[in-house]
Structure 1
Amino acid sequence: MRKGTMILLLIISLTANLYLLAVQQPVKDEQVQLLQERINSLEAEKEDLNAQIGQDNVSLQSYASQLDFYRQQLNELGSSVGLSSDGYEGTASLQAPAVYQSIEEVIDGPFIRQIVTEKGSMMNISVEIGPGKGRVLVETKPLMGVVFQDAANTAVFVAQNLTDANMMSSDIIFSIIAVGEIPAVDGPSAGALMTLIMVSALNHEQLNDSVTLTGTIDQYGNVGAIGGVLEKAQAAKDGGKQLFLLPKENSRLVQYTYVEKNIGGFSMIERRPEIIDAKPYIEENIGIRVEYVDSIEDVMYYAFDSSKSNAPL
């Protein structure tokens, strides 16, 4: 009797397991299919974005060449009518935070997958102004993209408007040198800083080297949003800076919390976004003072006065 009962229980258990497998397998198959479709969609988006980046870089290079050509034409025209000046001279430099990607290949069974991490580092950015033909030149080490050329042209335009300088008979050379051995970096996020050091060089005004900043610049002198806020803040802190100027458009950070949920016998991890204020978060967790800036005038307010960076957190 006892043996029969055990056999009956075994049959019931096997039947229940088979039923659960029959019910759960379609769920697993559907999840795998949805994940694969999502991966395929993201791969397609990545290819489209890479193609767009390539087209944008070609366009920027073309615009930079055209701008140099028209500057040369303007210089020759000014010389022919006696409007050329003797040219400006000046130098200035400041360290800027940058973000670069590190790619590590990991062997996982028969597959090789890549782990991409983002890290912050400091770059030395300097400008040298001397007599010339109105050219804007960019030297980068390591080699960086043409977006820096576009940012340099905009920086010169804004600096001229702020200082009323006529750069027709001057050459401007920006040098961007990475402090450490890092891969190629690109992006317009040094635009505001390039504008700042350009103004400093033209006015022969000393910069406060305990300050650093990040942000794009447009033709009207507005400072725009960038990526890698936390990585850049950490790089600034590690580089010994006391004040980190951040675009006001970056005042909100998105942080994620992970919540475990049980659905249909499966344990699922849900990622929930939370919006936080960047300034108190960075000051508390990284330990560097942060001020928001909207324009190049805001940047100059902090960068030319050493007392502005010494206030306590």
Structure 2
Amino acid sequence: MKSKLLVLLLAISLVANAYFVMFEEQPSFEEGQLREMQTRISSLEAENKKLKMQINQENKLLQSFENGSQICPAGIEGFAILQGPAVFQKVELERAGPFIQRSVSEEGALLNISVEIRPGKGRVLVQTTPLMGVVFQDAANTAVSVAENKTGRQMSSSDIIFSITAPGETPGVDGPSAGALMTLLTISAINNAELNKSITLTGTIDDEGNIGQIGGVLEKAQASKAGGKTLFLIPRENSELVTYQRIERKLGGFTVIEQEPKAVDAKKYIEKEVGINVEYVDTIDDVLKYEKINV
């Protein structure tokens, strides 16, 4: 009895399966095509949206050129050169009997500093003789940044190459004191403006275009005068110059010689003792007032 029941149930199951296979609704060929078309439409809409965004960006760029914008994807080209003062240490060895004395003094020298701008990848490069240090490279980067802000020109499609050479055997120097001069050179090269070769300057530069204090201002003034310069621009922070007066004192049977420091106005002292005109500057805007003036 049980076996007959199982056979009956199996037969019912087979009939039911056959029914579902034969009569279950299958997706038609038209529905498959519709889904494929919907997928393609979605893809085309996304691509169309992307193209519209790209066209809008290009239209804005084109409009900026038509409105006289200074932003230019093409590389800027230019060149400028000017002599700048630097201070280096001079070491001399003197023999005194069995001993060797080492004396160190500071001397000034004029360096030939130039900048060349040509189409490139926005690199700031420095080639120097004598060798310069990392601080000099930092000053070059800041100079370019300030020049971009002042001129409104972007240098992302140009390479800026600073070249520094010194006549004779000048030892390697380093420091940020050429920052203001390099900024002036870069602005001049961007604007294709010729600089007045009778001037020179010294001073650091910061991101805001402010010119800061440097060392060796007297030695730099002497080098500038010896190099034929007639105007020397220095930071206002260097307006106080410390000089030393020789003082002799009698103590018993001995004469004591001392060097007494005295603060003087740098402009007045240099103009009188060195013989070169001096002007104080606070910012790169102050420097630009003198770039074309013959003194």
* Fold in common (TM above 0.5): yes
1:195 maps to what in 2?
183
Q: For residues 90 and 109 of structure 1, what CA distance do their matches in structure 2 show?
A: 58
Work out the CA distance in 2 between the residues paired with 1:298 and 1:126: 21
Equivalent in the alignment of 1:244: 232
Rounded Cα–Cα distance in structure 2 between residues aligned with 1:237 and 1:259: 29
Asked whether 1:276 is paired with 2:264, we answer yes
Residue number in structure 1 paired with 2:125: 137
Residues 16-42 of structure 1: per-residue CA shift (max 9 Å, x gap): xxxxxxxxxxxxxxxxxxxxxxxxxxx
Give the Å deviation of 1:266: 5.0
Q: Return the match for 2:245 from 243, 251, 257.
A: 257
Deviation at 1:263, TM superposition (A): 4.5
* Residue of 67, 82, 92 corresponding to 1:94: 82
SS in 1 for 2:289: helix
Name 2:209's counterpart in structure 1: 221
- TM-score normalised by L of structure 2: 0.73
Alignment check: 8 A CA contact 1:213 1:244 kept: yes
Q: C-alpha separation between the residues in 1 aligned to 2:252 and 2:276?
A: 46
After TM superposition, the score normalised by the length of structure 1 is 0.69
SS at match of 1:244: strand
**One of 95, 99, 112 as aligned partner of 1:124:** 112
Classify the secondary structure of the residue corresponding to 1:151. Answer: helix
**In the alignment, does 2:131 pair up with 1:157?**
no
Q: Which runs of 5+ in 1 are unaligned?
A: 1-80
CA deviations 1:80-103 (Å, max 9, x no partner) are x87871111111110001111111
Percent same amino acid among aligned pairs? 63
Query: 1:179, 1:273 → 2: CA distance?
Result: 34
Q: CA deviation at 1:243?
A: 0.5
Distance 1:243 1:260 in 2: 36
The 5 A counterparts of 1:29-178 are 85-178=73-166
Higher helix share: 1
SS in 2 for 1:291: strand
Cα deviation, 1:36-93, whole Å, max 9, x if unaligned, reads xxxxxxxxxxxxxxxxxxxxxxxxxxxxxxxxxxxxxxxxxxxxx8787111111111
Return the alpha-carbon distance in structure 1 between the equivalents of residues 243 and 228 of structure 2.
26
Q: Secondary structure at the match of 1:220?
A: coil
Please report how far the alpha carbon of residue 250 of structure 1 lies from its aligned counterpart in structure 2 after TM superposition.
Answer: 0.8
Tell whether the 8 Å contact from 1:121 to 1:180 is kept in structure 2 after alignment: no
Show CA shifts across 1:158-190 (max 9, x none).
Answer: 000001111111111000111222111111110
- For this pair of structures, how many residues does the alignment match? 227
**1:102, 1:88 → 2: CA distance?**
40
Asked if the contact 1:253–1:277 (Cα under 8 Å) also holds between the matched residues in 2, the reply is yes
2-structure distance, mates of 1:281, 1:264: 36
**Which residue in 2 is equivalent to 1:290?**
278
